[in-house]
Amino acid sequence: MRQTIAAIFLLLALAVPQIANADDSALGKWHVTGSVSDHAFTLDCTFAPAAAGFGGTCIEVTAGGGMGHPGKAHKLNHGSVSGNHVTWSYPVSVMFMSFDMTFEGAVGGNHMTGTATAAGRKGSFAANRM
């Protein structure tokens, strides 16, 4: 019985780092560009581990004088990675409308590409690790 319990603890101890490493592919800082319905956006996003998936913040980047200036910060309400498939979203309020800005795509090394959706409209995004 003791050997069985010890074996279970050993297997769990070995499995936990593998599970954590599988979801680390999207963590870190990303520069995200894209457009939805001809509305271009540029974001600097930081993704960190959270209880279920990842959390973080995406900050709007506006051009000015050749340098990016921080704009509005959006706190993620969802972030997950499964294999190379990554999704995240954050709430947006424009005038009297509230909706989620949602990103779904594939992460490979230091790059991500995929679909961005906002208020029922679709577009695309690309991101590079900073």
* Predicted pLDDT of residue 106: 96
Model's pTM, two decimal places? 0.76
Q: What is the pLDDT of residue 82?
A: 92
Rounded Cα–Cα distance for residues 36 and 18 (Å)? 36
Q: What is the pLDDT along the chain (130 residues), one digit of tens a residue?
A: 444 444 333 333 333 333 333 357 899 999 999 999 989 999 999 999 987 789 999 999 875 544 445 688 999 999 999 999 999 999 998 788 899 999 999 999 999 999 999 999 999 999 999 9
Residue-level pLDDT at 95: 83
For residue 51, the model assigns a pLDDT of 78
Name the nearest CA neighbour of 86 among 128, 129, 115. 115
Residue burial 19-52, b: 16+ Cβ < 10 Å; e: rest: eeeebeebbeebebebebeeeebebbbbbeeeee
pLDDT score of 69: 54
With beta carbons less than 8 A apart as the criterion, state whether 123 and 115 touch.
yes
Distance CA 63, CA 43 (A): 11
- The owner of tokens 């001809």 is 38
Check residue 20 and give its pLDDT. 39
Q: What is the pLDDT of residue 6?
A: 40
Domain edges within the chain:
2-129
**Distance (Å) of CA 1 to CA 9, 10, 121:** 13, 14, 58
* CATH superfamily to which 2-129 belongs: Quinohemoprotein amine dehydrogenase alpha subunit, domain 2 (2.40.128.120)
Rounded-to-integer distance, Cα 43 and Cα 82, Å: 23
